[in-house]
Amino acid sequence: MGGVRFLQARGEGGRHAGGMRHLDLSALEAAERFVWLSGRVLERLRFAHLFRHGDAARVLSALRPYQNPDGGFGEAIEPDFRGPVSQPLSVDFALHIVDEVGGFEDPMVGAALGYLASITCEDGGVPNVLPDVPRYPHAFWWAPAPGPLVGSLLPTASIAGLLHKHRVAHPWLERATSFCWEAIEGLPARVAVAEGRIPRLQIAYETRAALVFLEHAPERARAAQTARALGELLLGRGGFIAAGEGTAGEMSLLDVVSRPGSPARAWFSDAQVEQHLDALLAEQGKEGGWSVSWPAWTAAAGLEWMPIQTVERLKTLKAYGRLTLPAAGG
């Protein structure tokens, strides 16, 4: 899950010469200590790679034990599903880490694609969760949908986008790409027909996955036009993304536009983005980390999500130039 709150700015924080608030080295060290206190080995090594010039190979080594013999990922790599078995959402979680460290030539990727091919639905997409989820402890939002399995934009579009980014050639991607185009371009009609019956937050999560696809899909003109249409749909109707004074049940602007290069960056003004970045800085907790805004359905998942969220928030601040990094060797 990702954050769904509007962040209210508070506190002072450090400032650049230009007047923008930023996360200084002492605040980064506090975040590092928080990850040491509460993070899994995976998050510790991700932090070290991203912010301390750490070795990418060590991140991949820490990721490897989460991969199952079938090529998928499990073992609670995504904290809201505690079972050992592979799940599509867990593959999505893992591949984003592989992307983070530039490791798409690692054999784990090919094995994961074999797994995805084995669970692909007739429509060319993969479902977000599989029917075996109820056998294990899981968050209620991981419950399988009733009826026959069908493909879902989350995680199909997100995974397909990463594969296009790294120019991976695989038969699974061809069918998944066709599925993504049809599903993304059909979102406006789907929202109009199902207004009030499909949770708006579900649409927001699917849109976030779609944006990964649209950023890297090879048909660039089509992707740009589709991204514009999505922005008009979501912002025009309201209730999906908190671009101003948000409410519970909306996704935060920075959860959608976590990087300046996102196709959704054009949906928001500079002032809106800067306001949310200021608020994000102020949300760093006293222990150095960032909390999540969705319910902690079990203590273990809640504790594991906080260092993950901390790494993700720091990545956003880094992408927008709001983070002071130590020099090499620091």
How do residues 48-101 score in pLDDT, each as one tens digit?
999 999 999 999 999 999 999 999 999 999 999 999 999 999 999 999 999 999
- Asked whether residue 8 is domain-assigned, the answer is no
The CATH number of whichever domain residue 164 belongs to comes to: 1.50.10
- Asked whether residue 328 is domain-assigned, the answer is no
- Asked whether residue 9 is domain-assigned, the answer is no
How big is the chain, counted in residues?
330
- Asked whether residue 2 is domain-assigned, the answer is no
How many domains, the chain? 1
- Asked whether residue 6 is domain-assigned, the answer is no
- Asked whether residue 260 is domain-assigned, the answer is yes
**260, 274 in Cβ contact below 8 A?**
no
Please tell me the distance from the alpha carbon of residue 60 to that of residue 56, in angstroms, as a whole number: 7
pTM of the model: 0.91
- Asked whether residue 327 is domain-assigned, the answer is no
Q: Domain range for residue 238? A: 14-140+147-319
- Asked whether residue 5 is domain-assigned, the answer is no
Q: What is the pLDDT of residues 148-185, one digit of tens each?
A: 999 999 999 999 999 999 999 999 999 999 999 999 99
Least confident of 50-54, 198-202, 316-320: 198-202
